[in-house]
Amino acid sequence: IEFGRFAEQNRERRGEGKPETFDFLGFKHISGKNGLGRFMVRRTTIRKRMRAKLRQIKQQLRERMHDPVPQTGQWLQSIVQGYFNYYAVPGNLKSLGVFRDRVLALWWRTIRRRSQKHRINWTRILILAQQWLPQPRALHPFPDARFAATHPR
């Protein structure tokens, strides 16, 4: 596997396309560039992991369908925050936003299945999301900033 700072240049010279990626610890590692055009390892959530977690949440929501909404909201808050605590690295915010939106859609469908009246519309579920589901943000700084914080020079 060719990966690293010069992988893109070497592969372009040989006409082989983009550098290869690899999966490790739940992240897909990609050779990328930052806003200044310098090399940067980009990390995004592996899609298989996200789908598996969403399947688990869907199953649990079915079992908790008739629980009170605040109780389910509190449970979802802990689940989403725990997911963010692991996957909230710089460059992965889009994936975290997708995860939050999918959890919200699953919750909305579950609430609507509780009766035949469909009393909750999307604007009301957005209010619940604002109250219970955390917004995605980068919780872990870049490795060089993390190292500088723990090892002053």
Q: Assign 152 a pLDDT band (cuts: 50, 70, 90).
A: low
**Does residue 153 carry a pLDDT above 60?**
no
With beta carbons less than 8 A apart as the criterion, state whether 54 and 102 touch: yes
The C-alpha atoms of residue 11 and residue 120 are separated, in whole angstroms, by: 53
- The phi, psi pair for 27, rounded to 5°, reads -120, 145
Q: What is the pLDDT of residue 127?
A: 95
The model scores a pTM over 0.85: no
Q: What distance lies between CA 93 and its chain's CA centroid?
A: 6
Taking residues 30-43, what's their average pLDDT? 81
Residues in the chain: 153
pLDDT tens digits for 82-124? 999 999 998 899 999 999 999 999 999 999 998 888 788 999 9
Above 70 in pLDDT, residue 134? yes
pLDDT over 90 (residue 49): yes
pLDDT of residue 140: 80
d(CA 44, CA 115): 38
